[in-house]
Amino acid sequence: MRTIAVGTFRGIPVRIHAGALVIAGLVAWIVGSSVLPQFVPGASTAGYLVGGAVAGAGVLGSILAHEAAHAIVARRHGVPVKSITLWLLGGVAHLEDEAPSPRAEAQIAGVGPLTSIVVAATLGGLGLMLGSIGVAPLAAATFLWLALINGVLAVFNLLPGAPLDGGRLLRAWLWKRSGDKDRAAARATSVGRVVGLSVVGLGAIELLVLGNFGGLWTAFIGWFLYGAAGQEARAGKIAAGLGDRRMREVMSPLPTSVPDWSPVADLLAAPPYGASRVLAVDFGGDPSAVVELDQVARLIRTARRPDGGALRIKDLPLASPVEVDGDRPAIEALRTHAGKPVIVTADGRPIGVVAEPELARAVALHHLERQADDDPFVRAA
């Protein structure tokens, strides 16, 4: 699903996921049609509708407050923030860099849940005050409900597995204790997977033992966390593997080029033994795709069939490569162009390629380096 730009916060673009709007609408509906009528019976339909709408918008506002807090503190520590996205299950402040120290990491991570707790306490206090003097009971109930949601937001985010804030706090603590950031990150993502699976288990118990269909939602969130922890573990390994190397240091040389309008059948009839990939180029001679040969069979299966004529290389579902100067730091360039193959250039001319295999190699080589550091048997050799 798509994200929609909704404005900027102190110069940081704020985007909202279409799914988050659906969820906010659903929240407005549930609060307006069943939560408020249950706790404040006898109010007007218009009152319930307004209360529901405030609750729906309030959920988005609460997530924004949480993410904005991360963003502000990140900036204060010199970590640039690319954007804030309000997402299906919460939000993400996209930081362009890692925290410079365990202390900074802990502060950036901790301030989100802290903000949610402060919002919960403020709205809760306001709701209780209104309730005790018997004024505006619908507003009081809506505030109390939003206080509860912010409390849940804080507690959920404090679960100790990456990529949740609690996982970042865990990483900061392990990092400070051992001085080894990469290992701390790996440990935090492992715990994140365990947390994700535990949440799936809770959802299953909720569904199967208590017969509550909300368990499906819980299980879904757990599964999502499990996947996110896995992704983060991989990203962490790649970051550690690339270190502060430049693009030209991690690239492979340019592979043999083939015209991208040539039939895939030609490639299959005479596979270029000794090569693991080819560079597809367009009529102008510019790179149009990096074709990993071990992926071609899979690509053919998912290719859109041409309206006649043979399947050409340019018909394969391949991401267009981006060009990046060879002197740029690899980790920074790859973070910007996540997932796309990179043509590395020198003075604007292509000199090499960085794609999945190069990242896998960087991870493997880093592993090797560590082994050499750790193992006296290897070191002595």
Residues numbered 101 to 160 that lie near Zn ion (CB under 5 A) are 112, 157
For Zn ion, the binding residues in 276-315 under the rule CB under 5 A are none
Site membership for Zn ion, residue 161 (CB under 5 A): no
Q: How far is the CB of 144 from Zn ion (least distance, A)?
A: 23
Task: List residues bridging with 87 in a β-sheet.
Answer: 90
Q: Which stretch binds Zn ion (CB under 5 A): 96-104, 161-169, 188-196, 231-239?
A: 161-169
Q: Annotated catalytic, 67?
A: yes
- What is the pattern of x (binds Zn ion, CB under 5 A) and - over residues 58-97? ----------------------------------------
| Closer residue to Zn ion (CB): 111 or 239 | 111
Cβ atoms of 316 and 298 within 8 Å: the answer is no
Least Å from the CB of residue 116 to Zn ion: 8
Q: Does 165 bind Zn ion (CB under 5 A)?
A: yes
For the bound state, the minimum distance from the C-beta of residue 348 to Zn ion, rounded and expressed in Å, comes to 41
Considering the complex, what minimum distance in angstroms separates the CB of residue 187 from Zn ion? 20
Angle CA 137–141–143, to nearest 5: 115
- Whether the CA torsion 232, 238, 239, 240 is positive or negative: it is positive
Please check whether residue 110 is in contact with residue 251, taking contact to mean a CB–CB distance below 8 angstroms.
Answer: no
Nearest to 236 by CA among 107, 342, 367, 348: 367
Binding of Zn ion by 232 (CB under 5 A) = no
Concatenating the DSSP letter of every residue in 15-65 gives EEEHHHHHHHHHHHHHIIIIIHHHHSTT--HHHHHHHHHHHHHHHHHHHHH
Q: Could you tell me how many residues of this chain bind Zn ion (CB under 5 A)?
A: 3
3 state SS of 209:
coil
Nearest to 353 by CA among 328, 332, 323: 323
**Which residue ranges make up the site for Zn ion (CB under 5 A)?**
112, 157, 165
Q: Would you please indicate which residues are annotated as catalytic (active-site) residues? A: 67
